[in-house]
Amino acid sequence: MAKNLSRPAPEIGVRRGTATRKAGRKTAERLVAAAHELLETQSYERFSMRNVAEQAGVSLANLQYYFPRREDLAKALITDIGARYRAAYDECLAQAPDDPVERFRIVLRWNMADIGQKSTRQFFIQFWALLGSLDNFAGEYLREVYFIDIDQLGEHIGAIHNGMDGREIKKRATLIAAMIEGLMVVAGDFGDVEGKPSALKEAALNTALEIACRP
């Protein structure tokens, strides 16, 4: 993900009874940030509790006090991703016009820039593999990730179409989310030859707007 992405303090899903004070919350946030950084730089196979603790500069026992299992860390990362993207959308829309189509265009353009970053691509490819390994590729964890993405994109589609049926909004948001995530993988294979990634992303942006705006 974007290195300059501001991140609020989310409800990160630590073990019940922990992180109830400010210092504890800060520690839990640092642990989640370390887990995120590990997946940005290492294979998901290196995502062990011991390696996350080492990345964070804490003892294994300290990490397990907040997150007893890898599954707990993975769920905290899902919540963290939602907070990161919510913050990014709010930031890029801070000076945006009121027109809902233009606001969605700005959000889409931000996404197109984000998926072009090596750190974003590395993180998500490793995170997908990690989540698959945790639930034997049943897809439950992946669905949790993209429920957040779909909901956030759906808010903008709903703003474009006041009163649109929620199922139609979700369908359109799902299609757009799938296109963005697929493009993150495919566009990376084009390199930087003849501007192909830029042209491809611009075409995807326009297609996403067509999906969102059609009556």
10 with 83: CB under 8 angstroms? yes
Which 8-state DSSP code applies to residue 1? -
pLDDT at 23 over 90: no
pLDDT attached to residue 18: 57
pLDDT attached to residue 83: 96
User: Are 64 and 148 members of one domain?
Assistant: no
pLDDT at 190 over 80: no
The 10s digit of each residue's pLDDT in 65-122 is 999 999 999 999 999 999 999 999 999 999 999 999 999 999 999 999 999 899 999 9
pLDDT attached to residue 205: 95
CATH number for the domain harbouring residue 2: 1.10.10.60
User: Are 54 and 135 members of one domain?
Assistant: no
Q: Is residue 41 assigned to a domain?
A: yes
**Cα–Cα distance between 79 and 68 in angstroms, integer?**
17
Q: Which amino acid is at 103?
A: R
**Cα–Cα distance between 88 and 145 in angstroms, integer?**
16
User: Are 99 and 171 members of one domain?
Assistant: yes
The 10s digit of each residue's pLDDT in 138-151 is 999 999 999 999 99
Question: Domain span at residue 11?
Answer: 1-74
pLDDT at 187 over 80: no
Band (pLDDT 50/70/90 cuts) for residue 133 is very high
pLDDT at 215 over 70: yes
Q: Is residue 11 assigned to a domain?
A: yes
User: Are 66 and 101 members of one domain?
Assistant: no
Among 89, 92, 120, 126, CA closest to 3: 120
**Cα–Cα distance between 89 and 118 in angstroms, integer?**
20
pLDDT attached to residue 196: 57
pLDDT attached to residue 13: 58
Output the CA–CA distances (angstroms, integers) from residue 65 to 56, 79, 202, in the order listed.
14, 19, 46
| pTM, 2 dp | 0.84
pLDDT attached to residue 26: 92
User: Are 103 and 7 members of one domain?
Assistant: no
DSSP letter string, 144-189: HHHHHHHHHHHHHHHHHSTT--HHHHHHHHHHHHHHHHHHHHHGGG
Residue showing tokens 């990345």: 55
pLDDT attached to residue 4: 39
Residue 127 CB neighbour total at 10 angstroms: 23
Number of domains in the chain: 2
Backbone angles phi, psi at 13, to 5 degrees: 75, 40
Q: Is residue 26 assigned to a domain?
A: yes
User: Are 97 and 28 members of one domain?
Assistant: no
User: Are 115 and 52 members of one domain?
Assistant: no
Q: Is residue 36 assigned to a domain?
A: yes
**Cα–Cα distance between 201 and 115 in angstroms, integer?**
10
User: Are 4 and 103 members of one domain?
Assistant: no
Q: Is residue 177 assigned to a domain?
A: yes
Q: Is residue 88 assigned to a domain?
A: no
Sign, CA dihedral 164-166-172-176, equals positive
Q: Is residue 81 assigned to a domain?
A: no
Band (pLDDT 50/70/90 cuts) for residue 6 is very low
The 10s digit of each residue's pLDDT in 26-66 is 999 999 999 999 999 999 999 999 999 999 999 999 999 99
User: Are 199 and 170 members of one domain?
Assistant: yes
User: Are 107 and 46 members of one domain?
Assistant: no
pLDDT attached to residue 14: 57
**Cα–Cα distance between 135 and 71 in angstroms, integer?**
9
Domain boundary among 40, 74, 108: 74
User: Are 186 and 127 members of one domain?
Assistant: yes
Band (pLDDT 50/70/90 cuts) for residue 20 is low
User: Are 103 and 209 members of one domain?
Assistant: yes
Residue that wins the pLDDT comparison between 5 and 153: 153
Largest CA distance in the chain: 56
pLDDT at 5 over 70: no
